[in-house]
Amino acid sequence: MRIDKKIRMKLISSMLDLKLVYAKQIDNSIIEIEEAEQVEDIMSEKQWLLKKLVLISPLESQYCYFCVLGEGCYGCKYAKVHRRCIDKDSDFQKICDARKAYLDTIDEYYYKDGEVYK
């Protein structure tokens, strides 16, 4: 399948916007870490940053070549291989489920509110 140059440019534009969002999130966390008074504050901030970066990962339609192409789910070439993204058993849903599991793992193991290091 040949690349549509306009679609490629739209994807690049979306990803450049996302790059700015990532940079802003990291910059905000750096400020919080610079102002932290306790190690626990740093751990809490880093946990928040980890989760934020996972949540803003490029899984939305503006980052998908086939969605931007605009042929709809039933004409989607990705869906022919991986099933429609909206289907519960699609590969895309499996990725979303894995993202949720990763977020839960960060919550469970990284840092818990009230945790104190001595």
Residue 72 lies in a domain: yes
Mean pLDDT along residues 8-33: 98
**Are 14 and 62 spatial neighbours (Cβ–Cβ below 8 Å)?**
yes
Question: Is 51 contained in some domain?
Answer: yes
Structural domain includes residue 118: no
Give the number of domains in the chain: 1
pLDDT band per the 50, 70, 90 thresholds, residue 92 = very high
Give the closest residue to 81 by CA, choosing from 90, 72, 69.
90
Other C-beta atoms lying within 10 Å of the C-beta of residue 4:
12
Domain carrying residue 72: 5-109
pTM for this entry: 0.87
Q: Is residue 91 part of a domain?
A: yes
- Domain-embedded: residue 115: no
Residue-level pLDDT at 4: 96
- DSSP sequence for 9-59: HHHHHHHHHHHHHHHHHHHHHHHHHHH--SHHHHHHHHHHHHHHHHHTSS-
Tell me if 116 is assigned to some domain.
no
For 31-88, write each residue's pLDDT tens digit: 999 999 999 999 999 999 999 999 999 999 999 999 999 999 999 999 999 999 999 9
CA dist 46 and 61 (Å) reads 28
Paired tokens of 116: 């104190």
